[in-house]
Amino acid sequence: MCKNITETHCDFPRKIQPFWRAIYKVRAEQGERMSAWAEAPPFQANKDTKIGPVQSLVLKPHGNSMTVDFSPPFPPVSDTFRFKYRLYYGKEGADDKMEVSLVLTHYVLDNLEEQTMYCVQVKASTERMEGQTSDPQCAKTMAREYSGKDLALIVTVVFAVCGICCFTGYMIYRNHAVLKRLLYPPFRMPYHMQEFLDDPPQQLYEATFNHRDANEHDDSDLVIELTVLSEVDQTCADPNLVPAEKT
């Protein structure tokens, strides 16, 4: 496969299939001198390949978002090494990490907290093999940048809200009497009670007059009794007053 090379590595041609299980040998040569063959254990690419971490992991913050770009561990070899990725990210020093599954090497993290340090790691894998997780790369988000359209929209909304509030206040002030009648209607006695008071039954009149006469009679007796008690009290209060002798 590789002959008369001076490097200590060899790239085998792509015609070798990943599912082949092969035995590889190597020996050193110097002129006519040759070493013994060194034999590696049997190797099958789609089972024994060690997938390293992704390469060139780069973070670029943009306001409260961040773009993530990276390269696969090595160029894909046939469909056997079709990579898929898992991206982990979170605040620096936090134990909780968010996980995102990817098939591309570009991703945008949205809705991040402004001016906060975030760290990202990526791991490549295939259907049969798990790769190594990359070293964390950290970057700090920036303050959100508002465009001219955003500022114009904010100003328009503020003026619209102020206009609605002013118009509502003016209409309430102008029609406060109508609103008062609608919200607080005048008290009206129920119809059956009003009819009863306008034309009460005859028995009610008789009962009322009888009760009044009884009260007047009780009041007169009470006055007489109070008058007698007053004379007795006066006699008791003045010791010089002697009652008249009976004849």
For residue 5, the model assigns a pLDDT of 86
The answer to whether 197 and 204 have CB atoms below 8 angstroms apart is: no
C-alpha–C-alpha distance, residues 182 and 189, integer Å:
18
Residue 149 in this model has a pLDDT that exceeds 80: no
pLDDT at position 121: 96
- CA gap 18, 45 in Å, rounded: 5
**Model pLDDT for residues 74-116, shown as the tens digit of each residue:** 877 666 678 899 999 999 988 889 999 999 999 999 999 988 9
Under 8 Å between Cβ of 136 and 59? no
Structure confidence at residue 154 as a pLDDT band (50, 70, 90): confident
Instruction: Compute the C-alpha angle 109/110/112, nearest 5°.
Output: 95
Report d(CA 89, CA 100) in Å as an integer. Answer: 9
pTM of the predicted model, to two decimals? 0.51
Residue 193: exposure state from Cβ atoms within 10 A (0-12, 13-18, ≥19): exposed
pLDDT in tens, 174-191: 877 777 777 776 667 777
Summary mean pLDDT of the chain: 78
User: Which residues touch 131 (CB under 8 Å, ≥6 apart)?
Assistant: 51, 52, 53, 54, 73, 123, 124, 125
d(CA 65, CA 140): 10
Q: How confident is the model at residue 142 (pLDDT cuts 50, 70, 90)?
A: confident
More confident residue, 216 or 130: 130
> b vs e for 194-208, b when ≥16 Cβ sit within 10 Å of the residue's Cβ?
eeeeeeeeeeeeeee
Task: Give the gyration radius of the chain's Cα atoms.
Answer: 53
Distance of CA 21 to the CA centre of its chain: 54
Lowest mean pLDDT among 21-35, 75-89, 96-110, 197-211: 197-211
